[in-house]
Amino acid sequence: MRVIAPGKLVLTGAYAVLDGAPAIVAAVDRYAISDGRSPANVDVSALHDEQGRKLGLGSSAASLVAALGSRAVARGEDPRSARVRAEIYRAARAAHAREQGGGSGVDVAASVFGGVLRYAIGEAAPVMAPVDLPSELVLAAYWSGKSARTSDLRARVDVLKATKPRSSVFDRLGELAENAAAAVDAGDAKAFIAWASAFGGALGALGIAADAPIVLPAFAELASIAQGEAAAFLPSGAGGGDVAIWLGTGRPSAAFERRAEALGLRPLTISIDQGGVRPESLS
């Protein structure tokens, strides 16, 4: 029996989550699929484009989760049960951290549990809870056409932390991540959009300070257009390319869509996955 694990979109909290701030992450209906024959035999094509480039939807985490879910099924266990999911999360997070040289585990959590999560590292163990996005919120995703290596970007940010640990940019990211999460808790779409927009600006400031291309010029231009439409446009996750997200109370305008296309961005057909890791026949 094949097992599927969803990819993810980090809406807010990238980088800040590594310092204990909350991230809002959504599992999405593009899946890594394990056929159960071997951990290496996991199909992640839905998380890549037609040329095999990763979209930035957490393909490596989803692949690990799908493989571990498949092993659980082979043992006669149900990967939908709380106990089995807790074990899959623990094992996948440890393995993913070894492969990636660290990380928060937020993408692993989305793949295991599905839905939308408020996720923080916590002092002793990750603290996560399912949340509902505000009902008025419209989420859209765009592929930049350029894959990015999260580990490379994070390494540059780590150098900044080591040399300027008290840089105000880190405090600002944490503050905005907290405010964005609080807006989700309150079900306030307009506040969440405003804080997400500010968070995107802070990611740009972090990129300048760390000499890391976190917010691409095309993303910055589209963010400005989105602000004029009372919306936010920002990288999902570490940035540097990969996927970006629109957050608004309506769909992007035709003018926004035309400019995004002219800048080489392509809309992705994506919705939120509520099921997490599971046998494919039960999806």
Q: In this predicted structure, what is the pLDDT of residue 282?
A: 52
The CATH number of the domain covering residues in 138-268: 3.30.70.890
CATH entry, 3-132+271-282, from 3.40.630.30, 3.40.50.11540, 3.90.79.10, 3.30.230.10: 3.30.230.10
CATH 3.30.230.10 residue ranges for the chain = 3-132+271-282
Q: Can you tell me the distance from the alpha carbon of 82 to that of 87, in angstroms, rounded to the nearest whole number?
A: 9
Q: In this predicted structure, what is the pLDDT of residue 150?
A: 83
Q: In this predicted structure, what is the pLDDT of residue 38?
A: 60
- Kindly list the averaged pLDDT for each block of 10 residues, start to end, along the chain of length 283: 95 94 97 79 92 92 94 94 96 85 87 97 89 97 90 89 87 96 98 98 94 94 97 93 95 97 96 95 56
Q: In this predicted structure, what is the pLDDT of residue 99?
A: 78
Q: Can you tell me the distance from the alpha carbon of 49 to that of 109, in angstroms, rounded to the nearest whole number?
A: 23
pTM: 0.93
CATH 3.30.70.890 residue ranges for the chain = 138-268
